[in-house]
Amino acid sequence: MPYKDPELRRAAVRDSLRRRRAADKPARKPLPGLAELRLENARDVIHVLHGQVAALLEDQTISTVERARTVALLCSGLLRAFEQSDLLDRLETLERKAGEDRRHGGIYQ
């Protein structure tokens, strides 16, 4: 086994690193507007993730497996954002009703 000898192991590691550095990497263009992007709530996150899923599905430079894995990850984030958005809507409704009850003397008075 070549890795038993420390010198052969170092040579194999050097060769592996050299091949990795020399690998042809696809040029990625920076996403426009992401630096100044402000995410205030779950709806903003949903909007950004929708755009990223659409961009990912159009990108032909990545493999199908990589695309599927990334879409699954983004969809997981979307589901969490949908849940947060739903909870936010429910909380706002409850707060609005509680405010109306206080203005009208409350339900217990």
What pLDDT does 13 receive? 92
pLDDT block averages, 10 residues each, the chain of length 109: 81 91 74 71 84 88 90 90 87 88 65
- Assigned domain for 100 exists: no
What pLDDT does 48 receive? 85
- Assigned domain for 66 exists: yes
Could you give the number of structural domains in the chain? 1
What pLDDT does 72 receive? 92
- Assigned domain for 47 exists: yes
Cβ contact 75:53 at 8 Å: yes
Cβ contact 97:107 at 8 Å: no
40: containing domain: 6-85
- The radius of gyration of the chain from alpha carbons, rounded to an integer in Å, stands at 26
- Assigned domain for 104 exists: no
- Assigned domain for 90 exists: no
- Assigned domain for 39 exists: yes
What pLDDT does 109 receive? 52
- Assigned domain for 95 exists: no
- Assigned domain for 76 exists: yes
pTM, entire model: 0.51
What pLDDT does 2 receive? 63
The type of residue at 97 is K
